[in-house]
Every structure is written in structure tokens, then in C-alpha cells.
């Protein structure tokens, strides 16, 4: 059975115990892959998700829109893409300015854009931080690496692509196929902070990865610059930037169902072993395991938890 391991992006924190949260996310990813119109039928696949969102939650979580200095610095760098002349102000004002400019450029909701940017920069800054009282990177990389070991395919979305990249390098994990989705790896605010650091202005495919495919929608506001991954990293096998029509504020579901991902997973040479994939049986298995876990570990306020899980990207 082919083993697919997903690495989620920002905004995926759930209050459940980490093991149960990982099962919830795995079920969502398996369902999305099963519903894809662009996937061939074939051998079954097990879908797991390396869950790490709980490790990014600092003690005494900040209010939405209140960025720490690291996140504020990254936001200021990001804004240079849209406002070359530069701006200054409080983190909340900068967030509102960024949301306004992006909403105008892409016809997004300013409120939704503001919320997304708040979460994105907060979580990315926490992961990339190397000094201070709260530095969870080592714990994040260790947990994710333990899930990536033995995977046939790693599918990493958003911040998850940064986490997967560093974990694959640090632990030298062998993976036949790496697919990155909506990745900010090439964005200046992330690229210069990567470990290992780029050499001569270039990063590189992790040594244990056989093939690397990057997919980004043209409307994904953090997957910048266009085709930046193939320009900034050596040995990227494909870098697809197209109007997939899936942005929905950077959610992973539509990415998992797009033609490019279906083609990569269905390609006879994609894995070097088994070829085509089917996910439906994995969905049924995860539903059964999730029900069993819920019976063993009941969650207070089931309606609220179910609602949060269904609305998370």
C-alpha cells in the first residue's frame, strides 16, 4: 500500500489531543483526494497528516492582528512586494493596509484577508524563529520527520512546505516524490531564513528526495514570486503556476483536487514502485478510526469541535 503523508499549513490548530487532531486532518485530506476528478484508479493508499499546529501555539496566545516583532518584520518585507515605496506603522495598521491592497487587487474580502494574514505571519514567524523564550522549531521538525520516514509521497502545503523542506534536509529522509502546494519557500521573507541557508542565492532539493513538483495558483498571495521555487531552488522537476481557480484563502482541499496533483499521483513513474492510487478505502478506514478515537476520548462540546474541524483549511 502506498503511503502518502501530508504536512498541513497555517490555521490548522485544533483543541483536541495531537493524535486525534492528526486523524481529523488526515480524514479531510483523504476525502479531498478521493473526490478528485483527476486521479486514476489503482492500488490503495494510506493517507496520514503530520500534525504540528499545537506546537506553534505560544503561552498566552495573542489576539488576532497583534503580531510579535518577528512576524511584524516579515509582514513589512512582504508588503514591499505590493508597496515598493515602503510603509511604517503598527502591526494592526500594516495588516489592514495589506488586506486592503490585496482585496482590491484580487477581489477578496478585506476581513477574510486580514484574518488570513494575521494567522499566516504569526505561525510562519514562530516556526522560523531561532532565538527567544519560545522556539518550537526543533520539536516541530522532530515530530514531522517521524511521520515522513517511510513515506512514498510527501504532500506539503503552505507553511508545511517550509517545515517539510527543513525536516527532509535535517534528517536526510528518503522520499520518492515531494509535492509542494501554495509554497512560500521562495518568498524573500522565508527564503533568507531557511535552514540550511541558501548557497549562492540558491536552495536545493533535499538530498533524499527523488522528484520535486511544486504547484501554485496565480491567485495564491503567499506563493510568490511566480515560478519562484524553480528559480530559487536547484533540481525542481516541475513548477506549475496556473489559474487553477482554487484560492479560497489558501485552503488545501482544492489544491489536492487539482489536475496537477492528480497527474503527479497517477503518473506510472511518480513513485518508482506502485503507480496509480486509490484513496476511497483509506477514507473509510479513517472514519472508522476516528469514530473509535472519539468513543475512547470524548471531546467537550462536540458540536463546536465538529464545526471548527469542518471549517478549518
Render pLDDT for 82-129 as a digit per residue (tens, 0 to 9): 665 555 556 666 667 666 766 665 556 677 777 788 889 999 999 999
CA 173 to chain centre: 19
Q: For the chain, how long is the longest CA-to-CA vector?
A: 56
143-168, pLDDT tens digit by residue? Answer: 999 999 999 999 999 999 999 999 99
- Of the candidates 79, 172, 167, the one whose C-alpha atom is nearest the C-alpha of residue 117 is 79
Place of cell 495531537: 18
Query: Taking the model in full, what pTM does it have?
Result: 0.81
Which cell numbers hold the place of 111? 476581513
Residue 196 preceded by cis peptide, ω within 30: yes
Contact 162, 190 (CB under 8 A): yes
| Residue 266 main-chain phi, psi, to 5 deg | -95, -10
With beta carbons less than 8 A apart as the criterion, state whether 143 and 52 touch: yes
Distance CA 260, CA 283 (A): 21
Ordered per-residue pLDDT tens for the chain, 313 residues: 789 999 999 999 999 999 999 999 999 999 999 887 655 555 578 999 999 999 999 886 644 456 888 988 888 888 777 665 555 556 666 667 666 766 665 556 677 777 788 889 999 999 999 999 899 999 999 999 999 999 999 999 999 999 999 999 999 999 999 999 999 999 999 999 999 999 999 999 999 999 999 999 887 888 988 899 999 999 999 999 876 664 455 578 889 988 889 888 886 454 444 333 444 444 444 444 444 444 444 434 333 333 333 333 3
What the block records as the C-alpha cell of 234 is 536547484
Domain 2-57+134-281 has CATH 3.40.50: yes
DSSP code, position 197: P
Please tell me the predicted confidence (pLDDT) of residue 144. 98
Long-range contacts of 70-79 (CB under 8 A, 24+ apart): 70/125, 70/126, 70/128, 70/129, 70/132, 71/121, 71/122, 71/124, 71/125, 71/126, 72/121, 73/125, 74/121, 74/124, 74/125, 74/189, 75/117, 75/121, 77/188, 77/189, 78/121, 78/187, 78/189
Q: Any residues with CB less than 8 A from the CB of 24 and at least 6 apart, and which?
A: 14, 16, 290, 309
Q: How far apart are CA 265 and CA 257, in angstroms?
A: 11
Amino acid at each position: 500500500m502506498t503511503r502518502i503523508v501530508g504536512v498541513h499549513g497555517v490555521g490548522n490548530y485544533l483543541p483536541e489531543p495531537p493524535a486525534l487532531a492528526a486523524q481529523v486532518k488526515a480524514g479531510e485530506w483523504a476525502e479531498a483526494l478521493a473526490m478528485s476528478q483527476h486521479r486514476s484508479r489503482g492500488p490503495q493508499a494510506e493517507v496520514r497528516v503530520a500534525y504540528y499546529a499545537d506546537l506553534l501555539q505560544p503561552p498566552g496566545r495573542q489576539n488576532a492582528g497583534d503580531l510579535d516583532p518577528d512576524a511584524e518584520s516579515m509582514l513589512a518585507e512582504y508588503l514591499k512586494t505590493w508597496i515598493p515605496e515602503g510603509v511604517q506603522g503598527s502591526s494592526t495598521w500594516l495588516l489592514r493596509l495589506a488586506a486592503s491592497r490585496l482585496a482590491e487587487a484580487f477581489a477578496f474580502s478585506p476581513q477574510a484577508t486580514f484574518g488570513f494574514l494575521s494567522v499566516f505571519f504569526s505561525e510562519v514567524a514562530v516556526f522560523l524563529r531561532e532565538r527567544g523564550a519560545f522556539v518550537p522549531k526543533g520539536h516541530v521538525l522532530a515530530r514531522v520527520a517521524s511521520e515522513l520516514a517511510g513515506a512514498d509521497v510527501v504532500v506539503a502545503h503552505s507553511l508545511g512546505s517550509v517545515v517539510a523542506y527543513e525536516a527532509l534536509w535535517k534528517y536526510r529522509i528518503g522520499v520518492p516524490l515531494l509535492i509542494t502546494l501554495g509554497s512560500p519557500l521562495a518568498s524573500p521573507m522565508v527564503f533568507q531564513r531557511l535552514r540550511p541557508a541558501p548557497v549562492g542565492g540558491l536552495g536545493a532539493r533535499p538530498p533524499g528526495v527523488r522528484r520535486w513538483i511544486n504547484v501554485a495558483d496565480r491567485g495564491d498571495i503567499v506563493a510568490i514570486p511566480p515560478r519562484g521555487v524553480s528559480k530559487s531552488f536547484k533540481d525542481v522537476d516541475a513548477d506549475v503556476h496556473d489559474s487553477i481557480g482554487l484560492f479560497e484563502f489558501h485552503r488545501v482541499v482544492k489544491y489536492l483536487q487539482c489536475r496537477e496533483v492528480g497527474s503527479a499521483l497517477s503518473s506510472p513513474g511518480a513513485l518508482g514502485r506502485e503507480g496509480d492510487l486509490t484513496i476511497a478505502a483509506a477514507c473509510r478506514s479513517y472514519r472508522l478510526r476516528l469514530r473509535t478515537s472519539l468513543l475512547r476520548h470524548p471531546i467537550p462540546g462536540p458540536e463546536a469541535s465538529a464545526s471548527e474541524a469542518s471549517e478549518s483549511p
